A and B are shown apart, each in its own frame.
Chain A
């Protein structure tokens, strides 16, 4: 794992390992947040869902009714889900960092890593979040799941394109304040077009408690915020360390 000894740039493999590790840790931290803040809301929503199912004579076509995995199992599985997802995002972040680092106009590796993580948070979390806010169990019509999944994937892609458009637009401008303005304009135009083109989805039943929905959505946003902050900071720390050590060694020998 220690590559700085060779006096060369870290390999892609080394950066990837660091990304996967930072991602796994970030995912587990996000899991801890989701477990403590989010699970009580999921439990409350499932209680409503089950009450509804009973009231409807238990038509029993929802997948929760199969009890393939009990509630305790699902709460443990939460950590598997966030851990795997975090590791995957860490792998993608490390890959983006490796491929794009030389194109980013900063001399700071830490800024480059944090900038990429921030761009990901904006593009694949915040842009989708505002168009299709996450829903707890008992919200959502099972018949529209395919349509909702496709729309969700589309808005994730649009979010990434919007970030990219913002960067491209900024680079057309010489002055800093005009760069910021161009970035915002490029980003917002793509987001606005995406929001207008994609169908609106609102499947919240009238009877679903508004405060529970609000609290669940905050918990979900917090989960992603923990995930990407921890991933960005963790990867920045791990990926720049061998370089810093090498710099220190060279400074001594010179």
Chain B
């Protein structure tokens, strides 16, 4: 592998402490979005059951336990 390293362009940024912290924040945000789609019943979205009901069919077809 080392001999190809010089030919192959760098495809990802260097891993720094700052990048890892940003990545952790992004992961938390992405999990929050997944939670809103898959499990939230108004506690986080503050929309009552509206968003929960709106995304009902998506939950079933994505394979998440619904009701």
Total count of chain A residues near the partner, CB < 8 A: 71
| Beyond A63-B52, A98-B19, 8 additional pairs, beta carbon < 8 A | A10-B13, A15-B13, A39-B57, A62-B67, A68-B50, A84-B37, A152-B65, A243-B9
Instruction: Mark A63-100 against chain B: 1 for CB-CB distance below 8 A, else 0.
Output: 11010110001111111111011011101100101110
Residues of A with Cβ closer than 8 Å to B?
8-12, 15-16, 31, 34, 38-39, 42, 62-64, 66, 68-69, 73-82, 84-85, 87-89, 91-92, 95, 97-99, 101-102, 105, 107, 109, 125, 128-129, 132-137, 140, 142, 145, 148-149, 152, 216, 219-221, 223-224, 239-240, 243, 246-247, 250
Number of A-B contacts (CB under 8 A): 174
Q: Any chain A CB within 8 A of the CB of B66?
A: yes
Total count of chain B residues near the partner, CB < 8 A: 44
Complex alpha-carbon distance, A73 and B52, angstroms: 12
Are B61 and A102 interface neighbours, CB within 8 A? no
Q: Any chain A CB within 8 A of the CB of B23?
A: yes
Are B30 and A69 interface neighbours, CB within 8 A? no
Instruction: Mark B23-64 against chain A: 1 for CB-CB distance below 8 A, else 0.
Output: 100110111011011110000000011101111111111111
Complex alpha-carbon distance, A62 and B9, angstroms: 56
Of all chain A residues, the one with the shortest Cβ separation from B5 is A107
Complex alpha-carbon distance, A133 and B50, angstroms: 26
